[in-house]
Amino acid sequence: MRRGAAVLLGACLLLIAAGAVDPEETLRSPASIAWRIGLPAAAALLLAAFLALPASGRLALGSAVAALTVVEAGSFGLHWFWRPHVETWIEPEYYQDHASFGYGPKPGISTRAWKRVDGRSVYDVRYSIDERG
């Protein structure tokens, strides 16, 4: 049992090292940091604690992890079940590349934009941009 946990601990440490190899990809968003470093680090810490604890401590740690897993899974399921249906729309030609800002509204365009959440209108507007942008 302890040998298997030690092997898993080594695998977690390798995953952390693999995430650190390509920092540009790993650090591009909070989600990628969580998946590439946070999750393996948390698993490594739990496995290290599991290896260091006596039998009663391992039982308590395993129970706490199982309870948290059930709560997180239930939270995810409720979020998925009750998430709102969001619809948005704006004319695709509204945006154009801009040298200083990355993108901006196209000069001389008039367009409508709207957003609905669960079928209820959040906004429904018309944008009119003059020829100077």
- Token look-up 């590439």 returns 36
Residue 133: both structure tokens together: 């942008």
pLDDT at 133: 67
In which band, very low, low, confident or very high, does the pLDDT at 1 lie, cut at 50, 70 and 90?
low
Residue in 84, 91, 88 with CA at minimum distance from that of residue 114: 88
pLDDT digits (tens, 9 = 90+) for 106-124: 888 889 999 999 999 999 9
Domain ranges for the chain, please list them: 2-82, 86-128
Q: pTM of this prediction?
A: 0.46
Radius of gyration for the alpha carbons in the chain, expressed in angstroms and rounded: 25
- Token look-up 């906004």 returns 123
Please give the single-letter amino acid code of residue 131. Answer: E
pLDDT at 50 over 70: yes
